[in-house]
Amino acid sequence: MSAWRAVTMGAIVGRPDARQGALAAREESRAGLRFGDVAARPTELLDLTSLTREEFAAVVGPFEAAFAAHMTLWRFDGQPRRARRYTTDPNCPLPTAEDRLFFLLVYLKTSPLQVVQGRLFGLPQGKTNQWIHVLLLVLREALRQLGDAPSRSLEEVAQRLAVPAALTPVLAAEQTAETPEAPQAPQATPPVLAG
């Protein structure tokens, strides 16, 4: 019997061979970094996400609620959901709310290439991109629910900091005074052709 036939027959009969071992090793390497790996190490969680355990726990609930609301309306590819409802697959690369939030916070803090983020969490780059785009929307909505969304204007910042309305124009004037003007680029002149 040829070696190839022995290998394929071994796979069919159920005997372990080199290919099955390699496949198992590849699946094991796909497991990647998970929240459970760092949950018991508060310093490492803080280093990777900039949140303490208590802060992380406070964000998980609203984050998961926003994720569920988003996934009832949209699919991962950005298309509207039409017939089937979202359910977490048993082989999902980010199966828990904690894993999804941890994945996104690590991405936001460390700013790696998506390929690197995917390697850390056992995802291909394309799936990493999809997860990031979905989870960024979810995190923004969760922060809005918590009242911690980033302010988009000076008036919003003043309101959040409880600055009196009379000082808001003063803050705006200080901000424009502190912002240096960009240097003007020299005007490009067309080259003179000698004829």
pLDDT of the chain along its 195 residues, tens only? 455 444 444 444 454 555 454 444 444 445 688 999 999 999 999 999 999 999 999 999 999 999 999 999 999 888 999 988 888 888 889 999 999 999 999 999 998 899 999 999 999 999 999 999 999 999 999 999 988 887 777 777 777 777 776 666 655 566 555 555 655 555 555 455 554
Q: Please report the pLDDT score of residue 8 as a whole number.
A: 44
Write down the pLDDT at residue 161: 79
d(CA 22, CA 151): 50
The closest of 66, 84, 57 to 143, measured between CA atoms, is 66
In degrees, to the nearest 5, what angle opens at C-alpha 31 toward C-alphas 27 and 11? 15
- The C-alpha atoms of residue 103 and residue 29 are separated, in whole angstroms, by 17
Phi/psi for 74 (5° steps) reads -130, 155
pLDDT, residue 189, reads 52
Tokens linked to 35? 């929240």
Structure tokens at 96: 């828990």
Short-list 95, 110, 102, 108, CA closest to 30 = 95
Find out whether 121 and 128 touch, Cβ atoms under 8 Å.
Answer: yes
Query: Do residues 147 and 75 lie in contact, with contact meaning Cβ atoms separated by under 8 Å?
Result: no
Residue 35 makes CB contacts below 8 A (sequence gap 6+) with: 96, 98, 99, 101, 102
